[in-house]
Amino acid sequence: MHIIKARELDYLYKSIKPILDTATIIEIDDRETEETLHHYLFLHQYYDRIVSSSYFTKEEVLHSQYYWYHQFKEMYFDRFEHDGGMEQQAFKLLEHLDRELEGNIDWPVIEKIVNGEI
């Protein structure tokens, strides 16, 4: 399973030119944390367009959504504070992946993401 990395996201940003909906997210006073959140939002909000206009599969995009959300969540917890709502959102994201992938989540990849091995 390929996880879409920042360099690849930069390329996608240039080709898709997204306008992210950030109206309902928390304000973050840390550039790196905010950028990580924007990677997740881009993969989430532009999922269909990324899958249809790039070589990334829906499985890769969905697992990458989880990767970037997990990265954001851990970074936020380390730099600011623990937030139970973010933990809940991570579980909701896994439920979303499960539905979209019809129960075919790559659990070993999710485990590697959670353990910081990816």
pLDDT in tens, 27-84: 788 899 999 999 999 999 999 999 999 999 999 999 999 999 999 999 999 999 888 8
pTM of the predicted protein model: 0.92
Instruction: Report which of 58, 44, 35, 46 is spatially closest to residue 12, judged by C-alpha positions.
Output: 46
The whole-number average pLDDT for the span 96-117 is 95
pLDDT in tens, 12-40: 999 999 888 887 777 788 899 999 999 99
d(CA 25, CA 9): 20
d(CA 49, CA 97): 17
Q: What is the pLDDT of residue 25?
A: 75
